[in-house]
Amino acid sequence: MRPEGHEDWVFVGSSIGLGYSEGSRQDGPGNLQNVFMEPASFAEYERSGRFPEKTMLALVLHESRQKESIARQGYFSGELVALEMAVKDSERFPEGWAYYSFGKDRAATAAKPRGECYPCHLEHGTDNVFVQFYPRLRNRPAN
């Protein structure tokens, strides 16, 4: 189920147009992406340097907009493009993590097939999380 209130969770970082495959760049800066982490899991990560079971990270993608109203330079968040989630739940997923895409407005969705996200997160993440892109996560001890 799509989590409610995810934009009130702990903000851990943002990016503009971040992509993981060659040639996927589009015209303009790409989507504005904000990442939020469920507060209790963030507190445990701050304390221990580990992502506890039931950790949830929300990736909120907005279209980038510019030159509207009084804005003459820069970009700002436009319409919601998609909500994606990473969930650590070893009871439900033998590999530990599952990835979801709720799109713009889906209330529920199934986990993505293991081969879509998991291998890259395993290879390039810290406990499957790309901490290198999130200032509030990347400088923590890896226990």
Q: How much is the average pLDDT of 13-24?
A: 78
Q: At residue 10, does pLDDT exceed 90?
A: yes
Annotated domain spans of the chain: 6-138
pLDDT class of 128 with cuts at 50, 70, 90: very high
- Report the length, in residues, of the chain: 143
- CA–CA distance, 126 with 109 (Å, rounded to integer): 25
- Output the pLDDT for position 24: 58
Distances in Å between the Cα of 63 and the Cα atoms of 25, 67, 76, 102 are 14, 14, 8, 16
Q: Which CATH class is domain 6-138?
A: alpha beta
pTM for this model (two decimals): 0.88
Say which residues have a Cβ less than 8 Å from residue 7's Cβ, sequence separation at least 6: 34, 36, 58, 60
For 33-45, how does the pLDDT look when each residue is reduced to its tens digit (9 = 90+)?
Answer: 999 999 999 999 9
Mean residue pLDDT of the chain comes to 89
For 56-100, how does the pLDDT look when each residue is reduced to its tens digit (9 = 90+)?
Answer: 999 999 998 877 788 777 787 889 999 999 999 999 999 899 999
